[in-house]
């Protein structure tokens, strides 16, 4: 094999990863899997696609060795192939955010319309969360919380927040988080909390961001490591 053939072969394999993440929905599916394992049915519902479309996207991601599948009873469960995939998704998101001004424009327009722009920086909120200065709510579905959550966070799924308001402290700041910058569950949680008189902020960083930084993530007892 000549040098040119070797280079063409290697770069061709690199391109398999690029092709695998060339569809917006496949990137969204990867971000969902960064939260924890999912069945095809759950992924389809959360990504707002049909089960057939989700299956086709997952087939492509699996062919690129980005995800793995395992049968669990009557269902097929998908998960990231390894921690390197999570770091890749995180790096891709950070690069796109840094290089593409359109991302900031779209996000800020959405947040401003809802009055959800926070005066406290994300890094400052993360520092306060890590130091235990605030009450932290994980408003993702319980399954995602059990698969991995920020240490000290309390599981209060958005769908249950109204029912649990009386159990939350009003004399202490509350920080809600969900799946990351493009997730709106924490925004909706903060809107509700503020209307009810709580001091609340949204932390746009989620579990994926913490894991990418090498920070500790807790799992519920009995969950797989």
34 labelled catalytic? no
Out of 58, 89, 178, 203, the active site residue is 178
The 3-state secondary structure of the chain reads: CCHHHHHHHHHHHHHHHHHHCCCHHHHHHHHHHHCCCEEHHHHHHHHCCCHHHHHHHHHHHHHCCCEEEEEECCEEEEEECCHHHHHHHHHHHHHHHHHCHHHHHHHHHHHHHCCCCCCCCHHHHHHHHHCCCCEEEECCCHHHHHHCECCCCEECCHHHHHHHHHHCCCCCCEEEECCCCCCCHHHHHHHHHHHCCCCEEECCCCHHHHHHCCCCCECCCCCCC
* Catalytic sites, residue numbers: 178
């Amino acid at each position: 094999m000549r040098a040119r053939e070797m280079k063409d072969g290697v770069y061709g394999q690199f391109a398999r990863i690029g092709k695998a993440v060339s569809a917006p929905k496949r990137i969204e599916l990867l971000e969902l899997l960064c939260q924890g394992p999912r069945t095809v049915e759950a992924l389809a519902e959360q990504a707002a696609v049909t089960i057939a479309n989700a299956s086709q996207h997952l087939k492509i991601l699996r062919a690129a060795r980005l995800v793995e599948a395992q049968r669990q009873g009557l269902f097929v469960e998908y998960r990231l192939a390894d921690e390197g995939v999570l770091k890749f998704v995180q790096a891709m998101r950070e690069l796109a955010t840094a290089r593409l001004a359109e991302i900031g424009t779209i996000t800020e327009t959405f947040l401003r319309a809802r009055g959800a722009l926070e005066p406290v920086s994300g890094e400052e909120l993360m520092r306060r969360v890590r130091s235990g200065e605030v009450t932290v709510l994980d408003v993702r579905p319980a399954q995602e919380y059990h698969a991995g959550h920020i240490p000290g966070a309390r599981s209060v799924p958005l769908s249950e927040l109204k029912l649990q308001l009386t159990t939350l402290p009003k004399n202490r700041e509350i920080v809600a988080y969900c799946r990351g910058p493009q997730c709106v569950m924490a925004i909706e949680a903060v809107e509700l909390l503020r209307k009810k008189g709580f001091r609340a902020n949204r932390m746009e960083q989620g579990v994926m961001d913490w894991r990418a930084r090498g920070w500790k993530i807790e799992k519920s007892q009995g969950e797989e490591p």
